[in-house]
């Protein structure tokens, strides 16, 4: 299919010729693989310093599923190069050196939030300095700003606003879809969906149905944090628990929407908590096959209450790479593992492409949530910068749409391969 770009008022609009583009409700989404088939021999030249990893390595190379205890062993090992070798082996079996990125824009319609999660530096009370809520026209204007590269995805997340009616979000989705009909709308964490259900007294399924009807096409993975109740009580006790988070995603998958999943690490959680979190995700994926990508997120402590409780400053590069590698090894039914450059810096994200990650996320354009928590990374990368990072790592860049279909660009057109 071929899409031409031309100015319409102040926006670039995509004019579809011939067939439909990403996000069309009529599009048939190819099913994700239910299990990843991997097999191979343990190479003689593979140096495993931590002998506890040897039987796990044999299972990985034989394509066998790893257990809870093996996951804990992976996390407790310091043999990062062996973990990286195994995770990269899985990544290459799945994707070769192909590395995905997309051209997207984040829109955070409000930072007003009734919850007071200790992990968060983004949410504000309505009367707090810096609190904002975008009028709909403002959100549309921001969506169309600096449109130097044709965007294929809007990523929408915000706080839990006590007074904004649910209709605001439906109007936001409809208005964006009307103005940018071919941009995929990925938005609203399970926490926000649960809150809309609470506000409106609609069931979660009804909320999702109404949002889908208004243009929502997939869900991001935020709000999962760590599922372990004891940790959750400390870091985000106002949020929905694991049961509801997983229920929102299960229902979204049942309604035909794909979603992502995250895990926040580097605060007070244990290795066991991380493995428990990953295996709960793996179990749901076995049922629904609706997750596309897993994104490990490092805790950024600046300007957070939780930052005062933890001893260290922020997760190390070592922990970032280990989380990528362990996720790739445990989540044998997730097609993609993302190194979110905003969180782990472009430098470490680039290294992660050799430790199991096959996706760098996107151009982002304006990121608020991690930057409020002290992220020193840029707020945007260009398409050319992402491509350079990927090529330098010896990988093959592949621009994707939200559903991981390759996007081919020329100066005047953009094509999404089915
Ligand atoms: S993490 Fe989300 S729900 Fe919690 S305070 Fe921040 S914006 Fe609100």
**Residue 308 CB contacts under 8 Å (≥ 6 apart), including other chains:** none
pLDDT in tens, 235-253: 999 899 999 999 999 999 9
Q: Does the Cβ of 353 fall within 6 Å of ligand 1?
A: no
Query: What is the distance in A from the centroid of ligand 1 to the CA of 115?
Result: 6
Calpha distance 283→65 (Å, rounded):
12
Calpha distance 103→125 (Å, rounded):
32
Query: What is the distance in A from the centroid of ligand 1 to the CA of 406?
Result: 33
Determine contact, residues 159/110, Cβ cutoff 8 Å. yes
Query: What is the distance in A from the centroid of ligand 1 to the CA of 189?
Result: 10
Mean pLDDT of 217-229: 98
Q: According to the model, what pLDDT value does residue 362 have?
A: 79
Q: According to the model, what pLDDT value does residue 360 have?
A: 93
Give the confidence band of 167 by pLDDT, cuts at 50, 70, 90. very high
Give the confidence band of 412 by pLDDT, cuts at 50, 70, 90. confident
Q: According to the model, what pLDDT value does residue 14 have?
A: 34
Please report, for residues 196, 228, 236, 278, 318, the alpha-carbon distance to residue 353 in angstroms, rounded to integers and kept in the order given: 37, 29, 31, 20, 14
> Helix, strand, or coil here: 258?
strand
Calpha distance 243→64 (Å, rounded):
28
Can you tell me which atom of ligand 1 is nearest the CA of 191? 3
pLDDT in tens, 351-384: 999 999 999 987 766 656 655 666 666 667 888 8
Q: Does the Cβ of 120 fall within 6 Å of ligand 1?
A: yes
Q: Does the Cβ of 117 fall within 6 Å of ligand 1?
A: yes
**Among 115, 194, 244, 301, residue to substitute to test ligand 1 (most atoms within 8 Å of Cβ):** 115
pLDDT in tens, 282-299: 999 999 999 999 999 999
- Among 1-5, 86-90, 111-115, 125-129, where is mean pLDDT lowest? 1-5
Can you tell me which atom of ligand 1 is nearest the CA of 121? 6
Calpha distance 321→350 (Å, rounded):
10
Calpha distance 132→130 (Å, rounded):
6
Q: According to the model, what pLDDT value does residue 114 have?
A: 95
Calpha distance 395→246 (Å, rounded):
33
Q: What percent of the chain clears pLDDT 70, i.e. is strictly above it?
A: 84
Spell out the domains of the chain, with CATH numbers in brackets.
2-29+96-416 (3.20.20.70)
What is the residue with the minimal CA distance to atom 3 of ligand 1? 115
Mean pLDDT of 203-228: 98
Is the pLDDT assigned to residue 228 strictly greater than 60? yes
Is the pLDDT assigned to residue 2 strictly greater than 80? no
Can you tell me which atom of ligand 1 is nearest the CA of 111? 7
pLDDT in tens, 59-105: 999 999 999 999 999 999 999 999 999 999 999 999 999 999 998 89
Mean pLDDT of 101-130: 93
Determine contact, residues 192/184, Cβ cutoff 8 Å. no
Q: Extract the tokens encoding 235.
A: 């870091």
Query: Of 247, 228, 232, which Cα lies nearest the Cα of 190?
Result: 247
Report which of residues 34 and 135 the model is more confident about.
135
Mean pLDDT of 157-161: 97
Report which of residues 19 and 207 the model is more confident about.
207
pTM (2 decimals)?
0.88
Determine contact, residues 185/23, Cβ cutoff 8 Å. yes
DSSP H helices in 268-412: 271-288, 306-309, 317-330, 341-352, 369-372, 383-392
Can you tell me which atom of ligand 1 is nearest the CA of 236? 4
Q: Does the Cβ of 191 fall within 6 Å of ligand 1?
A: yes
Q: Extract the tokens encoding 326.
A: 């362990």
């922990």: which residue's tokens? 319
The pairing of strands 11-17 and 2-8 is antiparallel
Q: Does the Cβ of 115 fall within 6 Å of ligand 1?
A: yes
């Amino acid at each position: 299919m071929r899409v031409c770009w031309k100015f319409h008022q102040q926006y670039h609009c995509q004019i579809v010729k011939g067939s439909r583009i990403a996000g069309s409700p009529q599009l048939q989404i190819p099913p994700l693989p239910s299990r990843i088939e991997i097999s191979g021999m343990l190479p003689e030249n593979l140096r495993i310093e931590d002998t506890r990893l040897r039987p796990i390595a044999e299972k990985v190379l034989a394509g066998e599923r790893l257990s809870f205890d093996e996951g804990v062993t992976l996390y407790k090992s310091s043999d990062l190069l062996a973990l990286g070798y195994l995770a990269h082996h899985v990544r290459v079996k799945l994707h070769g050196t192909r590395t995905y990125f997309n051209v997207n824009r984040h829109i955070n319609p409000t930072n007003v939030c009734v919850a007071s999660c200790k992990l968060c530096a983004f949410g504000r009370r309505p009367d707090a300095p810096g609190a904002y809520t975008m009028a709909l026209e403002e959100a549309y204007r921001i969506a169309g700003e600096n449109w130097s590269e044709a965007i294929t995805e809007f990523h929408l997340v915000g706080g839990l606003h006590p007074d904004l009616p649910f209709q605001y979000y439906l109007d936001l989705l409809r208005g964006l879809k009307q103005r940018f009909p071919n941009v995929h709308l990925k938005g609203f964490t399970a926490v926000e969906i649960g809150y809309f259900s609470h506000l409106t007294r609609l069931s979660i399924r009804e909320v999702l149905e109404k949002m889908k009807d208004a243009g929502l096409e997939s869900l991001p993975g935020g709000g999962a944090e760590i599922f372990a109740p004891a940790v959750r009580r400390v870091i985000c006790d106002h949020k929905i628990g694991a049961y509801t988070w997983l229920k929102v995603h299960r229902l979204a998958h049942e309604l035909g929407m794909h979603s992502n999943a995250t895990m926040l690490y580097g605060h007070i959680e244990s290795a066991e908590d991380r493995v428990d979190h990953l295996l709960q995700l793996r179990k749901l994926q076995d049922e629904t096959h609706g997750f596309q990508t897993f994104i490990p997120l490092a805790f950024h402590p600046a300007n957070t209450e939780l930052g005062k409780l933890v001893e260290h400053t922020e997760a190390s590069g070592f922990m970032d790479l280990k989380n990528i590698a362990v996720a790739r090894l445990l989540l044998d039914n997730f097609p993609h593992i993302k190194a979110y450059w905003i969180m782990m810096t472009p430098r470490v994200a680039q290294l992660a492409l050799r430790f199991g990650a096959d996706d760098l996320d996107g151009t982002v354009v304006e990121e608020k949530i991690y930057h409020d928590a002290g992220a020193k990374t840029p707020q945007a990368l260009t398409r050319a910068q992402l491509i350079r990072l990927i090529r330098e790592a010896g990988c093959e860049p592949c621009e994707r749409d939200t559903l991981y279909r390759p996007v081919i660009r020329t100066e005047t057109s953009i094509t999404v391969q089915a």
